[in-house]
Chains A and B, each alone.
Chain A
Amino acid sequence: MTRERLLTLALLATLLALPFATQAAGYPFYTTLATRMAILALAATGLNIALGLGGLVSFGHAAFFGIGGYAAGIVATHAMNAEPLFGLTVPASMPLVWIAAALAAGLVAAITGAISLRTSGVYFIMITLAFAQMVFYFAISWKAYGGEDGLSIALRNGFPGLNTAVPRDLFLIAFALLLAGLVIFWRVRVSRFGAALQAARQNELRVAAIGIEPFPIRLVAFVLSAMITAVAGAMFAELNRFASPSMLAWPMSGELIVLIILGGTGRLAGPVAGAMLYVMLEYWLGSITERWQFFLGLTLLGVVLFARGGIVGLVAGKPRHG
């Protein structure tokens, strides 16, 4: 077994054991932390398809994360008030929310991606940021769904066979979704599609010269990436019982990029390692000082200067391509 695979399994086992071990030790709050780690790792895994495999530095993934959050909030609100949506009765169902979140984010990504992917480099970063800010301002001006106050979820949407009000059940759902997201990332990475996507990141001209158009490959990757991040956003809103406009705002996009760089860009376990470290820093340092982000900055600086491959790169070395 390669070191990378061992590291991936070790990280996932640690994450899975965390709520059970801490609850046994009398710290139930850690279940929420572990859930937060799993959800942020899933969101970053989505971004990792575009950014890590495709080299598409999207500074607008907060839009997709937030769209997912609002999908959860809107479904929960309509279900609780028994208000029909588009003339249909809305069941308070998580799987329904995920489908709605993925479809809505996928549609927005298809439209904005088709325009953004005509640019590259800094222009791509800026145009994805601009689109995300448009979605943000749209959300805070939409009074029906809370405007600037956001949208509270009084009662979480349900999942068949589990009680989503119980933290451990919610964690298990988030963890299972993370596993599904990682499987998708891994399959994409080793598939023909992933080969073309990763090759286009490294040498666009070469890819074109053998007859593969980079644009449609990247667009599909961007849409898939947005859909995964949106499902994570839905879970984030469920966890907090609140779809906040800040989920859509640009610092959230930056946070997702930071998670990936900390953990290891383009690596399967990168977002998991990044999210676990990030949430731990946020919690422990945050309880010591309000300026915990200063130390996050120092950590990031250290990674960028001395460990370009992030945590995964540090432990498992360079990526292998067969």
Chain B
Amino acid sequence: MAEPVLQIRDLAKSFDALKATDGVSLTLKPGEIHALIGPNGAGKTTLMHQISGALKPDAGSIRFLGQDILSLGIAARARLGLGRTFQVSSLIPEFPALRNVMLAVQARQGSSFRFLRNVMHDRALIEAAGSALDRVGLADRASVPAAELSHGERRQLEIAIAIALGAKAFLLDEPMAGMGPEGSRALTAFLDKLRAEAPILLVEHDMDAVFALADRVSVLVYGRIIATGSVAEIRDDPAVREAYLGDGV
């Protein structure tokens, strides 16, 4: 079997008495979508923060592409290829959509200390950014400042940024949140294809999307993973039904 792209072992993080992450181990394999589900407050975003480098775990290890990344900061992990989107959209509000993506292309090329050239005349930068925008369906909104985009469009823009970074693994924190049914369906179809480019660790509340997309599902409750398995296995797991899915599913 292929080496996992991302390997997390025995990760632990406490805030005072609260164990937000309690011995979490999970892997992300090439080409898969691994969904992370769980009730509110289960510690999903806290886990994402530790993977991306925004929070430092108390114990455990995180390996990415065979390298221990625990000592690296957010920017260094991003340069290695961790492409993260945020639960609450995090963009450059005054910049138009295109320039938000251009900044990611610039970061990927590792060239932020250039002073002489006008970025708006930089063909390579504009074309690469434009094609990423096009892929998420935002091409016609390229010149609209991020602050003026709709909620759903901002989520799409975040994904375009992660694509433009040439991410080797995507960490998507509730990409469907706040999207209408139409938008969710379109994004589901898009993510379905995106996994061929790089595996996706997907935190999501939209169960239709999770069940349609996930190769594997892990269920996080009170900072612990209580089950990992295929969609069918998770649906039938009694502990999961009790803890999370409830009777309705």
Please determine whether B117 and A192 come into contact, CB atoms closer than 8 angstroms: yes
CB contact between A208 and one of B74, B98, B119, B125 (< 8 Å): that residue: B74
Which of chain A's residues have a CB closer than 8 A to the CB of B165?
A: 210-211
Contact with A along B28-61 (1 / 0, CB 8 A): 0000000000000000000000001010000000
CB contact between A193 and one of B79, B104, B113 (< 8 Å): that residue: B113
Interface residues of B in 131-165 (CB under 8 A from A): 143, 145, 161, 165
For residue B45, give the distance in angstroms from its CB to the closest CB of chain A. 13
Please determine whether B114 and A193 come into contact, CB atoms closer than 8 angstroms: yes
Contact with B along A106-119 (1 / 0, CB 8 A): 00000000000000
Please determine whether A191 and B94 come into contact, CB atoms closer than 8 angstroms: no
Please determine whether B84 and A209 come into contact, CB atoms closer than 8 angstroms: yes
Which of chain B's residues have a CB closer than 8 A to the CB of A198?
A: 92, 94-95
| C-alpha spacing A118/B50, complex, angstroms | 22
| C-alpha spacing A191/B111, complex, angstroms | 11
For residue B162, give the distance in angstroms from its CB to the closest CB of chain A. 9
Q: Which 10 A-B pairs have the closest CB atoms?
A: A211-B78, A211-B79, A208-B74, A196-B112, A210-B107, A192-B114, A190-B118, A322-B120, A211-B107, A208-B75
Q: List 21 A-B contacts (CB under 8 A).
A: A190-B120, A191-B115, A191-B117, A192-B106, A192-B114, A193-B113, A195-B102, A198-B95, A205-B54, A206-B92, A209-B52, A209-B74, A210-B107, A210-B161, A211-B79, A211-B165, A212-B106, A212-B107, A322-B119, A322-B120, A322-B143
Given that A193-B112, A202-B92 are known contacts, is A208 also in contact with B99, CB under 8 Å in the complex?
A: no
Please determine whether A191 and B92 come into contact, CB atoms closer than 8 angstroms: no
For residue A267, give the distance in angstroms from its CB to the closest CB of chain B. 13
CB contact between A211 and one of B108, B143, B145 (< 8 Å): that residue: B108
Size band of the A side of the interface? 20 to 34
Residue A287 is within 8 A (CB to CB) of chain B in the complex: no
Residue of B nearest to A322 (CB): B120
CB contact between B103 and one of A195, A220, A319 (< 8 Å): that residue: A195
| C-alpha spacing A220/B113, complex, angstroms | 9
CB contact between A321 and one of B75, B86, B91, B94 (< 8 Å): that residue: B94
Residue A81 is within 8 A (CB to CB) of chain B in the complex: no
CB contact between A196 and one of B91, B106, B116 (< 8 Å): that residue: B106
Contact with B along A124-167 (1 / 0, CB 8 A): 00000000000000000000000000000000000000000000
Which of chain B's residues have a CB closer than 8 A to the CB of A5?
A: none
Which of chain B's residues have a CB closer than 8 A to the CB of A291?
A: none
Please determine whether B107 and A321 come into contact, CB atoms closer than 8 angstroms: no
Please determine whether B78 and A321 come into contact, CB atoms closer than 8 angstroms: no
| C-alpha spacing A319/B98, complex, angstroms | 16
Please determine whether A202 and B117 come into contact, CB atoms closer than 8 angstroms: no
Given contact pairs A202-B93, A206-B92, A209-B86, a sample of 4 additional A-B residue pairs in the complex whose CB atoms are under 8 Å apart:
A192-B125, A210-B104, A213-B73, A213-B75
Residue B90 is within 8 A (CB to CB) of chain A in the complex: yes
Please determine whether B103 and A196 come into contact, CB atoms closer than 8 angstroms: yes
Q: Which of A188, A194, A208 has the most CB of B within 10 A?
A: A208
For residue A118, give the distance in angstroms from its CB to the closest CB of chain B. 14
Please determine whether B78 and A208 come into contact, CB atoms closer than 8 angstroms: yes
Residue of A nearest to B79 (CB): A211
| C-alpha spacing A188/B102, complex, angstroms | 16
For residue A308, give the distance in angstroms from its CB to the closest CB of chain B. 14
Please determine whether A191 and B118 come into contact, CB atoms closer than 8 angstroms: yes
Inter-chain contact total with CB atoms closer than 8 Å: 110
| C-alpha spacing A209/B102, complex, angstroms | 14
Q: Which of A192, A193, A202, A203 has the most CB of B within 10 A?
A: A192
Residue A173 is within 8 A (CB to CB) of chain B in the complex: no
For residue A256, give the distance in angstroms from its CB to the closest CB of chain B. 23
| C-alpha spacing A145/B92, complex, angstroms | 48
Which of chain B's residues have a CB closer than 8 A to the CB of A210?
A: 78, 103-104, 107-108, 161, 165
Please determine whether B116 and A191 come into contact, CB atoms closer than 8 angstroms: yes
Interface residues of A in 66-107 (CB under 8 A from B): none
Residue of A nearest to B52 (CB): A209
For residue B106, give the distance in angstroms from its CB to the closest CB of chain A. 5
For residue B180, give the distance in angstroms from its CB to the closest CB of chain A. 25
Residue B199 is within 8 A (CB to CB) of chain A in the complex: no
Which of chain B's residues have a CB closer than 8 A to the CB of A212?
A: 75, 103, 106-107, 112
Please determine whether B91 and A203 come into contact, CB atoms closer than 8 angstroms: yes
For residue A39, give the distance in angstroms from its CB to the closest CB of chain B. 24
Which of chain B's residues have a CB closer than 8 A to the CB of A192?
A: 106, 111-115, 117, 119, 122, 125
For residue B32, give the distance in angstroms from its CB to the closest CB of chain A. 23
Which of chain A's residues have a CB closer than 8 A to the CB of B111?
A: 192
Residue of B nearest to A192 (CB): B114
Residue B130 is within 8 A (CB to CB) of chain A in the complex: no
Residue B223 is within 8 A (CB to CB) of chain A in the complex: no
Please determine whether B90 and A206 come into contact, CB atoms closer than 8 angstroms: yes
Residue of A nearest to B113 (CB): A193
Residue A187 is within 8 A (CB to CB) of chain B in the complex: yes
For residue B199, give the distance in angstroms from its CB to the closest CB of chain A. 18
| C-alpha spacing A95/B117, complex, angstroms | 27
Residue A217 is within 8 A (CB to CB) of chain B in the complex: yes
Please determine whether B112 and A322 come into contact, CB atoms closer than 8 angstroms: no
